[in-house]
Structure 1
């Protein structure tokens, strides 16, 4: 009888121990897209940098003083490109073709793909605007680019960052047409910056 009571108490104690030690059910950690905190904001002077383009030339903004500079981030679209991905590159080429090189300088910055893949993609599509691979994400982080989101930067002829258009959760998103470099909006901005210099 004593053995039965003792065994019963032992089972109750063991049960309480197991219940007390049981951890709360594991839950999956929430996923989040972290947008780098940009170093460069609207109204800042464009920081100096040098980056090699796919053609082997060194892009240095200082060499393009007096021209409007447009920087944009892009990646090679997936097997089924989104409408925005395809439109951004096509619009960039159309805008690039409208201006003389002393008026507009454009650089497509790719922080995700390797140089060989990017060069093949650019050649296949016939894009002629300069492209650079941002291997260490120096520019991507500086301008607050988050992977697979649109980021467009307009710099006026004096080197001032006039517009940074981003599509991310921290800004609530921008007008989709502006983020794909809508030619009407882009030429309006570029012409305005050029006119300011001439006046």
Structure 2
């Protein structure tokens, strides 16, 4: 190989290494910038006012949390792929039958799945309460939801009365609905 070809190969290798190094430095810089300037999401706690939101259900009707003032709201965040969610949904439907007429509303907030997936799931399990879809995960973010399922019990005054993470039994659900039932 001639020295000119070796020199060209060396130049190309140096340029390629420089480009890769520049990309790595840019990626690290971007990551640092994002973490420093990221909005702090306030963690909700018992006693806080429940953030208001408006979402659309599977029938195209809008549900605004503040419209339920004066009633207890069993606000459940879930996904069709979530095993504990699947197990507790029929129990929620049973307890909604019991407590719906007593001023306790169930609002199931699905996290960004398609209408088809959610409708199929709701039909399969015979769900009888409003199911809304948080398409852009803005409500999930406002409520700082991790993990699924998470249920926020909102009392008739619009305050978070209890935060429940993980699977609930039917007995748990009945007790929680009793807690937020208007007097």
* Shorter-chain TM-score above 0.5: yes
- Establish whether residue 122 from structure 1 lines up as the match of residue 109 from structure 2: no
Q: Deviations over 1:110-136 (max 9, x none)?
A: 113112221122123211111111011
What displacement does 1:104 show?
1.0
Counterpart of 2:61 (choices 40, 57, 60) is 57
Output the aligned Cα RMSD.
2.1
CA distance 1:41–1:114, change in 2 (3 Å): same
1:40 aligned counterpart, secondary structure: coil
1:136-175 aligned at under 5 Å gives the runs: 136-146=136-146, 149-166=148-165
1:65-80 aligned at under 5 Å gives the runs: 65-77=69-81
CA distance 1:136–1:96, change in 2 (3 Å): same
Paired residues, what number? 144
Residue of structure 2 equivalent to 1:43: 47
From the CA coordinates, give the structure whose radius of gyration is larger.
Answer: 1
- Tell me, which stretches of 5 or more residues in structure 2 are unaligned? 1-39
- Tell me, which stretches of 5 or more residues in structure 1 are unaligned? 1-35, 167-178
CA distance 1:93–1:48, change in 2 (3 Å): same
Q: Deviations over 1:128-179 (max 9, x none)?
A: 1111110110111112223x6321110111111011123xxxxxxxxxxxx3
Higher helix fraction (1 or 2): 2
1:157 aligned counterpart, secondary structure: coil
Higher strand fraction (1 or 2): 2
TM-score by length of 1: 0.64
